[in-house]
Amino acid sequence: MTGRGMRFCRGLLQTAVLLAAYGTAAVALATSSAAGPASGQLANPTLTQPAAHEIRVAEGDDTPTSIPGNVARNTATDNILGNVVESLVALRADLSVGPMLADSWDIAPDGKTYTFHLRHGVLFHNGAPVTSAEVKWSFQFLMKRSTGFECRSVFDGSRGVKVLAVRTPDPYTVVFELDRPYALFLKQMVDPRCPLAVLHPSSVDSDGNWLKPVATGPYVFADWKRGQYVLLKPFPQYRPRAEASSGLAGAKVAYADVRFVVIPDEAAQKSALAAGQIDAMAISENSLLPPDPRWHLVEGPSADPAVLLMQNRDPLLADVRMRRAIALALDLPGIVNAVTDGHAHYNPSLVPVANKLFSPIDATGYTKNLAEVKTLLAQAGYHGQTLKLETSRRFEHMYTLAVYVQSLLTTAGIRTELDIVEWGKQVSDFRSGHFQMMSFGYSARIDPALMFGDVLGDKSKTPMAQWENPAALDLLHSLQGVTDETTRKQTFERLHQMMIADVPLLGMYNTPDLILVSSRLHGLTTWPMRRLRLFNVSKD
């Protein structure tokens, strides 16, 4: 559910550090404090430092596959392949769509035909030119059941639009015919979890078995030692786009080899970074290293919303006045500041702050008002009944958020107890709707319509739906064929206002995207979709 799956620990501990040095795996025990070893001291003295300009990035898990969008994929897969494969279009930093392998595209007046005009002179990693034939082959390959493509249902009509045909009228023109207008077609092409990657047929053998991605990105998938590392090498014949770099769009330049090193434990990753054995690692807001000339923190907002859920079918919380009293009893900006140590800001909306469609109306939330709380509680007939707020210790920020909320609600006269459960039970309770309140986090969606779609619904049919409002659901459905950004923005604003009135949940903040980076590394930036992009990054 949440995008942050890092394990962390504090104090002295002994952990196995698995590092690959010049293509050789080595295992050693390293004892370190949270601050890591002293300057110049190796986390593992038997390991040599990495090559002068090779960029090394820590991953908590190995990738289980090199197939783009395969159902077995994880975040490590996405981080690696995001530097290797490309689609016809790309997501910019503000989550809008820009050109990539297609220079431009036309949408038919009926919204059901997309015609892409390919960029000339683009080469695959094997030197072959990119033409419309490979685009068609790639789509047909990914849509085979045998590939395990996670987003197959998005394009076969099961969960989204149905692609009726892919035509190639000439080598540089590709036409996708859809069964209906669908505003998210372009964005779902570039979902970081399962992009419609353009691949060369040599990615598979003569029997159709997967070998490795032969794609078009700035990096070549060069070497994979399972459980140890994945090595990417710059593609010398890559031609960057002319536009400024933005997210996964625009110009991309590969300056050095990149090695994704598997180090399962966050404390071990910090020790390796302090020793100069890695150059970058994602880090949780509750586990930061103190300032040091050897590293710095790169930070920005993600598109992952942290929320407080309220079960509107619970006898006590069925009254909107009770839910509103809870909202007004909390100093929400203060809670966010305390939970994230100032690394995030209050966002009551399901539209991420970093999204191009976010507006001042989306920033309008609840302001603490204890006098109004008292009035609302009396109107709702509240007589001191105890509310249970479910959380787990699996993710520090969710647990800490629950602690602050419980304390402030109790102070405001709303009796609240923490219900601390195992993470597996919390997920099960979320899916079944068996809770009163819950501190929770959703992973990022590529468009606000998908996030509202996950939240809205009929609990009788979809128990994990949080917001039962038929008018809001109809309003959301009205956007399915609408690509006009002004209309979409206004519709999301209206949905936000309706959600604020209904109080099915409290949007808190977009969890911060934090990367601890060696001071030798330059150009690394965050992205709302939390995927590491190593192009345009250099190392002293």
For the stretch 192-243, pLDDT in tens is 999 999 999 999 999 999 999 999 999 999 999 999 999 999 999 999 999 9
| pLDDT tier for residue 470 given thresholds of 50, 70 and 90 | very high
Q: Which residue, chain included where needed, has tokens 């070497």? A: 223
* 3-class secondary-structure state, position 533: coil
Q: How far is CA 427 from CA 40, 141, 394, 432, in A?
A: 44, 34, 11, 9
> Do residues 359 and 407 touch, judged by C-beta distance below 8 A?
no
Q: How far apart are CA 114 and CA 117, in angstroms?
A: 10
Among 499, 93, 99, which residue's Cα sits nearest to residue 303? 93
Please tell me which residue, 297 or 19, carries the higher pLDDT value: 297
Is residue 317 over pLDDT 70? yes
Q: Flag whether pLDDT at 4 surpasses 60.
A: no
How much is the average pLDDT of 308-327? 97
Distance between CA 106 and CA 313 in Å, rounded?
A: 46
For position 47, what pLDDT does the model report?
37
Per the listing, tokens 């090595």 go with: 231
Q: What is the pLDDT of residues 36-86, one digit of tens each?
A: 433 333 444 333 455 568 999 999 999 999 999 999 999 999 999 999 999
Angle 215-220-222 from CA coordinates, rounded to 5°: 125
Reported confidence tier of residue 414, pLDDT bands at 50, 70, 90: very high
DSSP 329-379: TS-HHHHHHHHHTTSS-B--SSS-TTSTT--TTTT------HHHHHHHHHH
**Could you give all domains of the chain from N- to C-terminal order, each with its CATH number?**
85-214 (3.90.76.10), 301-512 (3.10.105.10)
DSSP 292: B
Q: Which residue has 């191009």 as its token pair?
A: 356
Under DSSP, the state recorded for 447 is S
Burial class of residue 356 in the structure, from the number of CB atoms within 10 Å of its CB (0-12 exposed, 13-18 middle, 19+ buried) = middle
Tokens (6 digits) for 186: 């372009």
**Mean pLDDT, all residues of the chain:** 90
Q: In whole angstroms, what is the distance from residue 515 CA to residue 530 CA?
A: 10
How buried is residue 159: exposed, middle or buried, by Cβ count under 10 Å (0-12/13-18/19+)? exposed
Measured in degrees and rounded to the nearest 5, phi and psi for residue 397 equal: -70, -35
Which CA distances in Å does 314 have to 161, 287, 323? 36, 36, 11
Instruction: Tell me the per-residue pLDDT of 173-193, one tens digit each, with 9 for 90 and over.
Output: 999 999 999 999 999 999 999
Q: Residue holding tokens 């930036």?
A: 525
- Sign, CA dihedral 501-504-509-515, equals negative
DSSP string, 295-321: EEEEEEEEEEEEEEEE-TTSTTTTSHH
Tokens 């069964």 found at = 179
Q: Is the pLDDT of residue 10 over 60?
A: no
pLDDT of residue 30: 30
Q: What are phi and psi of 437, to 5 degrees?
A: -130, 155
Q: Residue 50: its pLDDT value, please?
A: 53
Cα–Cα dist 13/506, whole Å: 38
From start to end of 76-196, where are the E strands? 89-91, 97-99, 102-107, 113-118, 163-170, 173-178
DSSP per-residue string spanning 217-254: SSEEEEEEETTTEEEEEE-TT----SSPPBTTBS----
pLDDT interval class at 284 (50, 70, 90): confident
23 phi-psi bin (left φ>0, alpha ψ -120 to 50, beta other) = left
Is 265 buried (19+), middle (13-18) or exposed (0-12) by CB count in 10 A? buried
User: Tell me, what's the pLDDT at 44?
Assistant: 41
Given a contact cutoff of 8 angstroms between Cβ atoms, the answer to whether 25 and 231 are in contact is no
Beta bridge partners of 518: 295
Q: For residue range 113-152, what is the model confidence (pLDDT) as tens digits?
A: 999 999 999 999 999 999 999 999 999 999 999 999 999 9
Give pLDDT, residue 52. 60
Strand 55-59 vs strand 258-262: parallel, antiparallel, or unpaired?
parallel
- DSSP readout, 468-490? --HHHHHHHHTTTT---HHHHHH
Which residue type, as a one-letter code, is found at position 4?
R
Query: Which DSSP string corresponds to 149-175?
Result: BTTHHHHBSSSS-BEEEEEEEETTEEE
